[in-house]
């Protein structure tokens, strides 16, 4: 039997306890965290694209977009260590995973 996977179609709300939680890419695009996802919203059409974040973390703590508007860094608090993932905003794929070293 085939496994079915739920895919979000719309996500409402914003993660208010996240540092720098709303970014404007240009006049028509807004980027913000909601739940365990990064939402890229086209304001005029209402179309949303999603970047799912790590499943094994306690949530997103901060986001930042590069000056070129090409990459987004997402800081997440993990159970054992913090992690920062860098995603490409054009392909929505992860480019780099940075882990805090253990002491």
- Say if 56 falls within a structural domain: yes
Examine the pLDDT at 103 and tell me if it is beyond 70.
no
Count of domains forming the chain: 1
pLDDT per position as a tens digit, 31-69: 999 888 899 999 999 899 999 988 888 889 999 999 999
Give exposure, 12-31, as e/b (b: 16+ Cβ within 10 Å). Answer: eeebeebeebebebeeebbb
- Say if 81 falls within a structural domain: yes
How far is it, in rounded angstroms, from Cα 7 to Cα 9? 6
Q: Which pTM does this prediction carry?
A: 0.81
- Say if 11 falls within a structural domain: no
- Say if 13 falls within a structural domain: no
- Say if 14 falls within a structural domain: no
Going through the chain in order, the beta strands assigned E by DSSP cover 23-26, 29-34, 37-42, 48-52, 57-65, 71-78, 82-88, 94-99
pLDDT per position as a tens digit, 89-100: 999 999 999 987
Helix ranges, the chain (H)? none
- Say if 6 falls within a structural domain: no
- Say if 3 falls within a structural domain: no
Domain span including residue 28: 23-99
């Amino acid at each position: 039997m085939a496994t079915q996977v739920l895919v979000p179609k719309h996500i409402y709300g914003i993660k208010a306890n996240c540092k720098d939680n709303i970014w404007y890419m240009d006049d028509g695009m807004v980027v913000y965290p909601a739940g365990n996802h990064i939402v890229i919203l086209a304001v005029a059409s209402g179309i949303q694209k999603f970047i799912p974040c790590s499943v094994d973390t306690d949530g997103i703590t901060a986001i930042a977009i590069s000056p070129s508007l090409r990459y987004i860094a997402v800081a997440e608090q993990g159970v054992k260590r913090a992690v920062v993932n860098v995603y490409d905003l054009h392909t929505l794929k992860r480019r780099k995973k940075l882990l805090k070293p253990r002491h």
